[in-house]
């Protein structure tokens, strides 16, 4: 049981690292524009600052981590959920 959990966590971290390494400047710029729209700054600003890029990168990483964690939980439920229903 513990071995299975450890293996799942390692696989999840590998998938997260892979997805994070695939983040491009295009993804970051799109996320900055999304953040500006949420904050109501899209009409006022034209230049993307370093802080904007860092905030967008952190937000993308957070999303990727959440997606992979949710995927891991869903996979677990698919494997073991039918056992608990009986």
Placement of tokens 């995927």 in the chain: 71
Distances (CA, A) of 4 to 14, 38, 75, 77: 15, 41, 13, 14
58: CB partners within 8 A, 6+ apart: none
Using pLDDT thresholds of 50, 70 and 90, give the confidence band for residue 75.
Answer: confident
Q: Which helix (H) or strand (E) holds 33?
A: helix 25-39
Q: What is the pLDDT of residues 45-62, one digit of tens each?
A: 889 999 999 999 999 999
64: CB partners within 8 A, 6+ apart: 16, 19, 20
Query: What pLDDT is stored for residue 4 in this prediction?
Result: 83
pTM, two decimals, is: 0.80
């Amino acid at each position: 049981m513990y071995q299975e959990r450890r293996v799942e966590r390692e696989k999840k971290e590998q998938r997260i690292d892979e997805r994070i390494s695939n983040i491009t400047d295009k993804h970051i710029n799109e996320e900055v524009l999304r953040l500006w729209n949420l904050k109501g700054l899209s009409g006022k600003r034209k230049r993307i600052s370093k802080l904007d890029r860092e905030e967008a990168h952190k937000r993308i990483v957070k999303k990727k981590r959440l997606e992979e964690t949710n995927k891991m939980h869903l996979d677990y439920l698919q494997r073991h959920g039918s056992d608990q229903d009986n």
